[in-house]
A and B are shown apart, each in its own frame.
Chain A
């Protein structure tokens, strides 16, 4: 994996704003836009006639004709390179498609995401030419379905502790896999499974068990599917656990380098998270559209619902959430499409923000619709049941918050060359000791940064200035926390939560500023009144939240909360 440039959010941890990633606003390719439009138009038409989301949910089944149809007009091969039978489109195009699917049906979106964002992604990113040639074409057309199998009954968030093993055979020609997997989307219908298992590797003379990735096809004996799970939502998607009993695969089925499976999984999940966020955006849009319609039609007390402030409050909250989601997803997929910049933190932020925003939006939608919102006759309760999983799978939002702060802080340590030695001996303590001392020296060394975004419309400069001030405060906070707690910072999850939430809100603020700037340049200020209002309202709440979290880093009730929780457990 080639060295990538530091992402935007990691830069924020050090008070640096990598403006080049947001301004000039990255534009989508003209040529690709035409192809994307053809696909989306087909999808909308197909969905109108053939995807009955309510029925898919009620019967907990996805008709084969839906799967075939999606394959037929290219939905399942969007990200696959043309040479392997796909359309070779960008992450931006893929996100647009996932957004449309999110509007239509959560089960279908989950099926497509599990197949394409993660199921076949590992082969796409890490496969050899032979592996790509062998497996990708049939996956791109949907003739064969893929699944991503990492989670186990005893290893969910703690993915590193999986127990499935892969042992090299006596003659070295094959691997024998044993173990079990849990909650795998598409497993029951997949022909190809990307399975992660522990393999004994020799590193510098020592034997260690490290995770490797393997391609397993369903025709190989020894794979037994457990019965399909009955879920709260996304009921049309197929979720199974399965057991591997002496499953013998040719050694050519090792995917990527031995022992690098964990890294492979994490990188694949980065793409999965972007797709998931796009799906949440689509669902949110649909919910707002339906809720606004209802609020226009329904009258009580002689007025339309939309004329009452409490309803206006909800509608505006929904609109703001959607605009922010759209801004961070658009900019993050475009960062991913640059291919030269690390986007793992941005992807995690998109997933966390979008899944939680969708939950807020669907809650508001149910409320605006009142009793109807609760009835199966209307789609809201299905949207709500479908939405809930997004905060859990592809990395729980808790794990992602830890990842956002810890990986950002750790990343800088890795960048600083002089830390390499102390990192090897005592990773975290070394990092934090030196961060405090070297912070001032390293500023500006590894990112091209400016505190202010260049060329902003005067109306936006004030928000940028305030954001820059908050960014500096944030980085000083990070420094102080690192120096005060050293390696203990890993245990201080209340603090990680605050640091991550600040990072999320700061990223959102910068993305919204960049997007509004882009809209002003494209359409002229008068046409962007909605965007400016959203920026105004969102900045107000985001900056308040950031200030609150900054103050809370050192002054808080964490000890009390810990005590309350401990008492529940100890009884």
Chain B
């Protein structure tokens, strides 16, 4: 089986975000980055498929500037077979979803694949659209936000589970297909000492985005970020002590007079 993973480098959730002077992007200078958490579930699932079936090649692709290479190193240390870096001028976080989908699709269409795996969304822009767009462009079936996956023994089909409001949807499909991973799909493993050692020796294939020959109208931005602002600082909560009758009276007073919601 051939599995393609789409990985994205995103700011660490512990990072403190600051805006750039023009307030249209974030200041990436002081940030630390990591693999998109939802991509980790996709990566882990791919490894489990290989553990089960053997004879499986896993290729990870990432789109971005030089810093994007780190997620590929991590993926290699977890044991994937091939890593490809599509080099762009801008960092991954500043690339539009449609543009990213086009680049990835164009590159993936040159490869053999049975399954394309993405995270359901990237935690920087939360657009949740790249996976679906790639499937659309490549004209293959897709299931998003899966929480359980079973590849059929003949490797020609799959059964996936997906959480919907108050219920669980079970979707059966044929391969090749694109799936996006939701939290709960699995518990990602950590790189092993051996994996890290081996990863140092594996090469990362570099592809220039210009080599993908995108057309002029494909490169132009479809969206314009008008402005960004930081969420307002939340005031610390207030603890109201005392006997229930007294405390409730105090709470009502605060809700009426201070918060003005009653």
Contact = CB atoms under 8 A, between A and B. Distances in A.
Partners in one complex: yes
B190 A42 contact: yes
Given A42-B191, A72-B190, A299-B236, A34 B196 contact: no
Interface in A61-103: 69, 71-74, 77, 82, 85-87
A523 B28 CA distance: 12
A523 B30 CA distance: 10
Nearest to A40: B32
B196 A74 contact: yes
Nearest to B236: A297
A446 B98 CA distance: 63
Given A45-B190, A297-B236, A35 B34 contact: no
B152 to A, nearest CB: 32
B200 interface: yes
A85 B200 CA distance: 14
A140 interface: yes
Interface residues of B, number: 16
A548 interface: no
Interface in A263-298: 297
A82 B197 contact: yes
B15 to A, nearest CB: 13
Interface string B13-44: 00000000000000001000010000000000
Contacts of B190: 42, 45-46, 69, 72-73
A69 B192 CA distance: 9
B73 A73 contact: no
Contacts of B236: 297, 299
B62 interface: no
B interface SS class: helix
Contacts of B88: none
A338 interface: no
Contacts of B73: 34-35, 37-38
A69 B73 CA distance: 21
A447 interface: no
Contact of B193 (A41, A73, A299): A73
A77 to B, nearest CB: 6
Nearest to A41: B34
Contact of A37 (B70, B192, B193): B70
Nearest to A304: B236
A527 interface: yes
A367 B236 CA distance: 21
Contacts of B160: none
A282 B81 CA distance: 35
Given A34-B69, A38-B77, A297-B236, A87 B192 contact: no
Nearest to B238: A299
A39 interface: yes
Interface of B: 29, 34, 69-70, 73-74, 77, 190-193, 196-197, 199-200, 236
27 contacts: A34-B70, A35-B73, A35-B77, A35-B199, A37-B70, A37-B73, A38-B73, A38-B77, A38-B191, A38-B196, A39-B196, A41-B74, A42-B190, A69-B190, A72-B193, A73-B191, A73-B192, A73-B193, A73-B196, A74-B193, A77-B193, A82-B197, A87-B193, A87-B196, A87-B197, A523-B29, A527-B29
